[in-house]
Structure 1
Amino acid sequence: MAERGFKVRALGEIAIRTANLEAMVAFYRDTIGLEVLAGNYSDGIVFFRIAEGFGGHTSVLALFDANAGRPELAPSDAPVAGGAGSTLHHIALSLPFEEQDAVRAWYDSRGIVYRVQEFGWIGWRGIFTTDPDGNTVELVAYDPSMLDPAG
């Protein structure tokens, strides 16, 4: 434990403000395969389960409808910016290395454009695509055989 008395142990939530909630929900549910958490989503927020998380808090992706007319959902007056205009570089979601071929086959069957990048210095391979708002989404996996001793 650090001298500050606390230590972050997991990612709790990724929250994205979107002007295209319906398309974003369809992408993360139908293309990426995240489970929509049960709830009343008439209020402009949709939560997806990413993983079990830590201490009873499920790790989630939250989509906030920028057009919901609720100021608390848009803490900034700045317009919604996706893709290159966003300050978000990318979202990386982990899965087993053995499932990456299935990701590529799934994307190919749906005509989804993607790229694959290997990170030998850390033993990761990522499959990158974009969501309907233009945000980069990576499905990343670790494989020790990919570690490059040269870094």
Structure 2
Amino acid sequence: MGINQLQVVAIDHLVLRTANLEAMLQFYMDVLGCRLERENTELGLYQLRAGTGLIDLITVDGELGKQGGPAPGPQGNNLDHLCLQIEPETEADILAFLKAQGQPVEGFEERYGAQGFGRSLYLQDPDGNTVELRCHQYS
């Protein structure tokens, strides 16, 4: 019989290439609360758990990273942005936490995402990738 359409239910993973592994691990683990789930140093692969999904960091000088060309930089990031759903907190608490972590951020704005319209903010990781944070909306 087969299927008529695929149904995407969540982001599974996304891969970011980096020439700055330590700063990227610090940002995603210490600032955003991800945890290192797996690593394969031979491949230059570091997999971070982000809720139900993964963020894979690959080093540009590792086996996998060499396949992607030059390192990310101001003229050519490998990602437009990634949006992470986070546990609900007040906007003031989120802003205060990010500022305490030394992250330059502006205020929240209303945007459309996987759960419809909601308030979110943008920040930059150490390689210049844009990360959007929005609070998860429970139904």
The TM-score range, normalised by the shorter chain, is 0.7 to 0.9
Cα distance in 1 between the residues matched to 2:75 and 2:88:
28
The share of aligned pairs that are identical, in percent, is: 28
Q: State the 1:81 CA deviation.
A: 2.1
The structure with the largest helix share of the pair is 1
Give the TM-score normalised by the residue count of structure 2: 0.79
SS across alignment from 2:58? strand
Which of 119, 123, 126 is 1:129 aligned to? 123
CA RMSD, aligned part only? 2.6
Residue correspondence of structure 1 range 61-100 to structure 2 within 5 A: 61-68=55-62, 70=63, 72-76=64-68, 78-83=69-74, 85-100=76-91
Cα distance in 2 between the residues matched to 1:80 and 1:136:
16
Cα distance in 1 between the residues matched to 2:36 and 2:123:
20
Cα distance in 2 between the residues matched to 1:73 and 1:46:
12
- Count how many residue pairs are aligned between Structure 1 and Structure 2: 133
Seen in structure 2, the aligned counterparts of structure 1 residues 96 and 83 have a Cα distance that, compared at 3 Å, is farther
Deviations 1:63-115 (A, max 9, x none): 001112x1x33433x31224552252111111233254332111122332012
Question: Which entry has the higher C-alpha Rg, 1 or 2?
Answer: 1
In structure 2, runs of 5+ residues without a counterpart are none
